[in-house]
Amino acid sequence: MQSIHQSPSLRISPPSEAPPPPPPPSFLRQGSPFLISPPPPPPNRNRCTGGWMKKNKKQHLVISATSSQREKDPKKRVVITGMGLVSVFGNDVDTYYERLLSGESGISLIDRFDASKFPTRFAGQIRGFTAQGYIDGKNDRRLDDCLRYSLVAGKKALEHAGLAAGTSLSNKIDKERSGVLVGTGMGGLTVFSDGVQALIEKGYRKITPFFIPYAITNMGSALLAIELGLMGPNYSISTACATSNYCFYAAANHIRRGEADLMIAGGSEAAIIPIGLGGFVACRALSQRNDDPQTASRPWDRDRDGFVMGEGAGVLVMESLEHAMKRGAPIIAEYLGGAVNCDAYHMTDPRADGLGVSSCIQSSLEDAGVSPEEVNYINAHATSTLAGDLAEVNAIKKVFKDTSSIKINATKSMIGHCLGASGGLEAIATIKAITTGWLHPSINQFNPEPSVEFDTVANQKQQHEVNVAISNSFGFGGHNSVVVFSGFKP
């Protein structure tokens, strides 16, 4: 979520120059229940770049650009050939992005259950969702929404890639070299909650036999594979709100290592239920702007008071360039690289100086074979939390010395924080920015933080030719993930 900390194995300063540890963090406000003290940051060497980080005259840590090259082997180049989603703005990728470009807020009062006694009573709740045509009636009634969203988004992504189930083309792909990697942060939370309630009220005999299968986090990937007959790499990753990017990174590596030709990857989440809302309320993580929900998610604004829950799914079809060209696939964009690491700092709080995140960004650029100067668009994690927003900005400043040409925006300002699905939905927004030349606004920018020295595309969309883009996602537990995209160039 807003956990943006630093991995002890990735801090890059010699022992004598190590910065002093920051003061003990407070999650969002005083009285945080998370009382585990983080360890002091040990000095060490950067395992990713292998070099010491130098200081400039202003004593700011600076990471030097690398001379690595982009991948040229068509077997190892990874391209995006399909996108599918379920969102508060509907289930169509183009409609989703059009509503983002218009600056529309998808946040409203919760009516799925009685939230009147909660201190937060609003979210990015999906309404009118239907799985008709994608899930049969019996399974549609049984499945947790997390799985329904995953199945619909995954099948829509395959349709977009020209691989709709049952078509002649889908039957020609090597299914033993096609895999699924769709994760979730919370899993089948409704099924789990209902099962616990049945146990308490009526005893174990009233627990549905689908309780375990539909609650565990790997079932989204499994069900897609079962329905489509895909026998390649198949599992899920659960790294809280960094989940989707972790899945993209892992899926791409399966392709690069020659273990798969095609991967369906992304994330799904459906946690807007009483126990989900109550849990984040207990964390003191959420905005309480009940009188004006549509302006509650306001990344980088000095009056922000927490994030807003969202839900949905975002899935990409990723293929080796060689495989995509052989089947004549529509190539939408290219995945250049990515990186993941862990802060090993605190359960929920970000490290204010952003060292772990800056290391992750730098490593992603090295994996992609691009220099910081080539990046001119960042889809930020930007959750609208007091500490997280500025920690991410501090990390970005460490990597990018000149920010004058970089645009940075916050998808969560409109759809809320979709937890494990956020990276999937934001990757799709990033790719649409690349293909359309338009950046969606960061809405609710009323009173910007003075330290945010970027163009945040405040309140109005902007035309911008994207050269290289990065999309950031960070999660509770200190999980950091960054993925790098660009337009496809043969």
Residues assigned a catalytic role: 241, 381, 417
CA distances from 366 to 27, 66, 361, 490 (A): 32, 7, 9, 21
Beta bridge partners of 123: 108
Nearest alpha carbon to residue 464 among 381, 408, 385? 408
Q: What span, in angstroms and rounded, lies between the C-alpha atoms of 149 and 268?
A: 6
Question: For residues 165 and 326, is the Cβ–Cβ distance under 8 A?
Answer: no
Beta bridge partners of 448: 301
DSSP 295: G
Beta bridge partners of 44: 13
Rounded (10°) angle between helices 93-101 and 422-436: 80
Containing H/E element for 47?
none
- On the 0-12 / 13-18 / 19+ scale of CB atoms within 10 A, 132 is exposed
CA distances from 311 to 193, 246, 417, 454, 485 (A): 17, 18, 7, 28, 24
Q: What span, in angstroms and rounded, lies between the C-alpha atoms of 335 and 290?
A: 39
Looking up tokens 């309140």 gives: 459
As given in the structure block, the two tokens for residue 406 are: 């970089």
DSSP 221: H
Nearest alpha carbon to residue 125 among 111, 137, 146, 142? 111
Beta bridge partners of 482: 339, 472
Question: Which 3 state secondary structure label does DSSP give 110?
Answer: coil
Q: Cα–Cα–Cα angle for 230, 208, 265, nearest 5°?
A: 25
Q: Cα–Cα–Cα angle for 131, 133, 138, nearest 5°?
A: 65
Longest dimension (CA), the chain: 69
Looking up tokens 């309320």 gives: 281
As given in the structure block, the two tokens for residue 302 are: 């000095």
Q: What span, in angstroms and rounded, lies between the C-alpha atoms of 443 and 100?
A: 10
CA distances from 398 to 29, 59, 387, 433 (A): 27, 11, 17, 24
Q: What span, in angstroms and rounded, lies between the C-alpha atoms of 63 and 366?
A: 12
